[in-house]
Amino acid sequence: MSWDGKGFEKPLIMSNYETVQETIDKNAYVPDDDVRALIHDQMASEKLIFLLRSMGMTKEACDYMSYCMNRRVGVWWGYSCVEAINTEIEEQLKKSPLSFREQQKEEVKKKINALKDKSELDSILGEHNAKCDEFLGAMKKLSGPEITDKTDPLYESQSKILEAANRDNLDFAAEELQNAMGNMPPKQLSKAKQLVEKAFSIYEEQHGIHPMKQLEKEIMQSVAPEPIPEDTSIRDKYFGTIKQRCQEVKDYVNETINKHFPLKLPGLPKKPSKEAAGDAFFAAKRWILTPTNENGQKAFWLGKNIPNLPEGLCALTAFWSSSDLVPEQKEQIPPPPGLASNGIKNVIFMCAMKKGGSQTYDERYEQYFNLGIECMTGIQTWDKEWEKKPPRTEEELDDNLISKNGFGRENNIV
């Protein structure tokens, strides 16, 4: 492995462009805004790949590698990624006796059962009921005998309740006193009122407040309980859990529909056969081992009807990597800059998105990045592919699997 998490152990010898600007100018690389912000003048290709990988932008690193990598090596990288995803899916199917569709049904059933689980809501409801029982017990205790233990949490509350009750008794006593004063002789009552009002006036001059107002204020401060804030935490938690569960259902349905249940309408192309995918994939391999324009044409004819499969797009990418798109004509027509690189990029993306298998999207890109680095450093070569036999007869596909030039050979690489 040439990438050790900190840098590259070997140089990226299979890079066509030393700097990022050269890749932009000569191969139509268009960086995303977040990638463009990292690029500076004369930045080396290896430096950008290192920076993107170290920042966790593995897909963006793979995208750039598709553009700066030698075209033939890039097709080989895409081919290796297609092989990797197909192997991953095959191994997963061996582990599970269920078909992919049956696995998805089981996954949906498990998700539904998880969403139907009311244990979390029941736990919140039980917490609410326990608080209600605790509140009722406290009310009974407050209305019972006087609490004498000052360390009891309800001691202060009961004391305030009793003080409020005493205030009501004081109001009754004041009313009785007022009635008794009404029965006094008018002269004596008038004289008494004058003396009281004079005393009140003196007190108010000295303290700035009428003594009765002062008395009323002190009584209210001592007996009036502080407002108790409403506790909505349990209610908010209960309904918050329901809301979260509803959002989970919505997200899961959308994800499942988009990922596992593609749109089916009359007139849409039928699913390509395994034979068609295998033929196109083998045509890509044939071009990798013998990168002639004629083999590029064969790859085109076998891949053009299945561009929505990684195998088909890989074959088309081999054609776009040829030096002449129309070899039967006298005038050479080379592919436009960036066409093959864009194909390589999308082959890898399709592999990462393919249904089935055991790895996640991010895990696959991690694997494909490592494969790409091994291809760019010359570690992952196509030498072993020479020894593999073609999947079909030579007469049917007119195969020529003798490699004209591999890694380290004298002949020029496309």
The 10s digit of each residue's pLDDT in 264-281 is 545 555 678 889 999 999
Tell which residue, 277, 279, 286, has the closest CA to residue 310.
Answer: 277
The mean per-residue pLDDT over the stretch 209-228 comes to 65
The mean per-residue pLDDT over the stretch 339-345 comes to 96
What pLDDT, on the 0 to 100 scale, is given for residue 258?
54
**Would you place residue 203 in the very low, low, confident or very high pLDDT band (cuts 50, 70, 90)?**
confident
Residues 6+ apart with CB under 8 A from 29: 20, 23, 64, 67, 68, 338, 341
What pLDDT, on the 0 to 100 scale, is given for residue 344?
97
For the record, the structure tokens of 293 come out as: 């324009």
Distance from the Cα of residue 340 to its chain's centroid: 31
The mean per-residue pLDDT over the stretch 132-151 comes to 75
**Would you place residue 283 in the very low, low, confident or very high pLDDT band (cuts 50, 70, 90)?**
very high
Q: Which has more pLDDT, 321 or 105?
A: 321
**Would you place residue 329 in the very low, low, confident or very high pLDDT band (cuts 50, 70, 90)?**
confident
> Tokens 């000295």 identify what position?
206
Residue-wise pLDDT for 346-356, tens only, equals 999 999 999 88
Tell which residue, 344, 337, 340, has the closest CA to residue 28.
Answer: 337
Residues 6+ apart with CB under 8 A from 121: 238, 241, 242
Classify residue 172 as exposed, middle or buried by CB count within 10 Å of its CB (0-12, 13-18, 19+).
exposed
What amino acid is encoded at 233 in this protein? S
What pLDDT, on the 0 to 100 scale, is given for residue 2?
44
What pLDDT, on the 0 to 100 scale, is given for residue 266?
55
323 neighbors 332 (Cβ within 8 angstroms): yes
- Model confidence at 160: pLDDT above 80: no
Residue boundaries of the structural domains of the chain: 119-223
The mean per-residue pLDDT over the stretch 330-335 comes to 87
What pLDDT, on the 0 to 100 scale, is given for residue 407?
47
Tell me the three state secondary structure of residue 282.
Answer: helix
Q: pTM to 2 decimals?
A: 0.59
**Would you place residue 254 in the very low, low, confident or very high pLDDT band (cuts 50, 70, 90)?**
low
What is the C-alpha to C-alpha distance for residues 1 and 323, in angstroms, rounded to an integer?
32
**Would you place residue 169 in the very low, low, confident or very high pLDDT band (cuts 50, 70, 90)?**
low
12 neighbors 49 (Cβ within 8 angstroms): yes
> Tokens 């990462």 identify what position?
352
Identify the H or E element spanning 311: helix 310-320
345 neighbors 63 (Cβ within 8 angstroms): yes
The mean per-residue pLDDT over the stretch 67-71 comes to 94
Neighbours of 260 (CB within 10 A): 15
Query: DSSP secondary-structure letter at 399?
Result: -
What is the C-alpha to C-alpha distance for residues 394 and 12, in angstroms, rounded to an integer?
36
- Model confidence at 394: pLDDT above 50: no
Q: Which has more pLDDT, 259 or 307?
A: 307
**Would you place residue 154 in the very low, low, confident or very high pLDDT band (cuts 50, 70, 90)?**
confident
What pLDDT, on the 0 to 100 scale, is given for residue 182?
64
What pLDDT, on the 0 to 100 scale, is given for residue 292?
92
Residues 6+ apart with CB under 8 A from 133: none
The mean per-residue pLDDT over the stretch 315-331 comes to 89
324 neighbors 58 (Cβ within 8 angstroms): no
Query: DSSP secondary-structure letter at 385?
Result: G
**Would you place residue 100 in the very low, low, confident or very high pLDDT band (cuts 50, 70, 90)?**
low
Tell me the three state secondary structure of residue 8.
Answer: strand
Tell which residue, 134, 184, 139, has the closest CA to residue 157.
Answer: 139
21 neighbors 65 (Cβ within 8 angstroms): no
Neighbours of 407 (CB within 10 A): 17
Q: Which has more pLDDT, 119 or 90?
A: 90
Tell me the three state secondary structure of residue 3.
Answer: strand
> Tokens 């694997």 identify what position?
367
Tell which residue, 215, 241, 12, has the closest CA to residue 123.
Answer: 241
What pLDDT, on the 0 to 100 scale, is given for residue 1?
38
**Would you place residue 219 in the very low, low, confident or very high pLDDT band (cuts 50, 70, 90)?**
low
Q: Lowest-confidence range among 323-327, 330-334, 342-346, 399-403?
A: 399-403
Beta bridge partners of 19: 44
Residue-wise pLDDT for 18-54, tens only, equals 999 999 999 999 999 999 999 998 899 999 999 999 9
71 neighbors 340 (Cβ within 8 angstroms): yes
Q: Over the chain, what is the mean pLDDT? A: 78
318 neighbors 298 (Cβ within 8 angstroms): no
What pLDDT, on the 0 to 100 scale, is given for residue 148?
78
> Tokens 């929505």 identify what position?
308
- Model confidence at 109: pLDDT above 70: yes
What pLDDT, on the 0 to 100 scale, is given for residue 226?
55
Q: Which has more pLDDT, 217 or 59?
A: 59
- Model confidence at 297: pLDDT above 70: yes
**197-228 per-residue burial string, b: 16 or more CB within 10 A, e: under 16:** eeeeeeeeeeeeeeeeeeeeeeeeeebeeeee
Q: Lowest-confidence range among 93-97, 282-286, 360-364, 386-390?
A: 386-390
Provide the H-helix boundaries in 183-210. Answer: 186-207
- Model confidence at 232: pLDDT above 70: yes
Neighbours of 363 (CB within 10 A): 14
379 neighbors 269 (Cβ within 8 angstroms): no
What is the C-alpha to C-alpha distance for residues 332 and 325, in angstroms, rounded to an integer?
8
Strongest mean pLDDT among 72-76, 91-95, 378-382: 72-76
